[in-house]
Every structure is written in structure tokens, then in C-alpha cells.
Amino acid sequence: MAADHAGVALKAFLKEWLETQGYAVRDFGTYTAESVDYPDYVRPLAEALLREEVNAGLSICGTGNGVSMMLNRYRGIRAALCWLPEIARLSRAHNNANVCSLPARFITTDTAQAVVAVFLTTTFEGGRHQRRIEKIDALRSTPHSNHKNHLLDNDRL
């Protein structure tokens, strides 16, 4: 698990619950409500996952987007933003997601718990979905835009 200050309370709640369910949890922080930068906390989670020291990740920030954006820079990591149990189920069954990202500021603890329960117990269906995942992993590098934020540049719209 990893979270920023916006996700720290939900992380603590889920960690306690997961441990009662028998899961061994590694917690990469943050541990307080002091404002931090989420990339610093999801990076060790990404590295542990890629080294196969952990089987799955839970990443939490205010929206779930920042942590997902960071994690999805790593080839082999598939972080899915999950705000409903059915989204979590499909992220495992179809996308073989290995990280569940939660939007702490937009989800109740009950729903987050249900999302995580489904995420951790749903298996990947393989088949056509495996082919699609391989196409994601085949992407080795992408060209960088030399116009920062060009999609938001009004001159181009």
C-alpha cells in the first residue's frame, strides 16, 4: 500500500481490515497527514511489485489519478482507478490490473472496502485480454511532445 496525505486515513483503515482478513501488508507510507508528493510514495510500491516482493498494490490519493499516472509509467504495472466493485472486478478480469487505485476524497470507506475485496479475489480471464495487455507492454517508448500541454493550448483548439 502507498498513499499521500489525502489517502493516509483510508490506507490506515484498509490496512487494519486487510490484516484481520489474513493478508500480509507492506505499507510504504505516507504515515501522517502532512502534505507530501505522491510519486515519492508510490515509487517504492512500484519497485516492490516489479521485484515480485508483493503480489498486488493498493495506491491512494485524493482522486486516485496522480498515483495511477505515476504507476502506469512502469512497464508491467497496470494500475486501475477503481471507485465501484464492478470496476474493480473488470480491472482484474479483463485488464489483469496489479494495482488498485482508490480516490480517497470521492469514495466511502464501505465502498473502498468492497472494491478492495473484489479486486483481491477476482482472477484474470486471459484469452483475448492477454493479447491486449501484451500490446500495452509492447509499447517501448513514445515520442515526447515539444509543446508542453499542447492539448490545452487554446490556439490549437
Phi, psi of 3 (to 5 degrees): -155, 160
Q: In the annotation, is 94 catalytic?
A: yes
The CA distances from residue 143 to 69, 70, 140, 153, in Å, are: 17, 18, 10, 19
* Interface segment toward ligand RB5; rule CB under 6 A; list 39-47, 62-70, 121-129, 136-144: 62-70
Q: In the annotation, is 129 catalytic?
A: no
Minimum CB distance to ligand RB5 smaller for 63 or for 95? 63
* Residue number, nearest CB to ligand RB5: 66
80 scored as a contact of ligand RB5 (CB under 6 A): no
Name every residue whose Cβ is closer than 8 Å to that of residue 5 and which is 6 or more positions away in sequence. Answer: 30, 32, 33, 34, 35, 36
Is-contact 102 83, C-beta < 8 A? Answer: yes
Q: Least CB distance from residue 69 to ligand RB5, whole Å?
A: 7
What residue ranges bind ligand RB5 (CB under 6 A)? 4, 6, 38, 61-63, 65-66
- Residues annotated as part of the active site: 61, 94
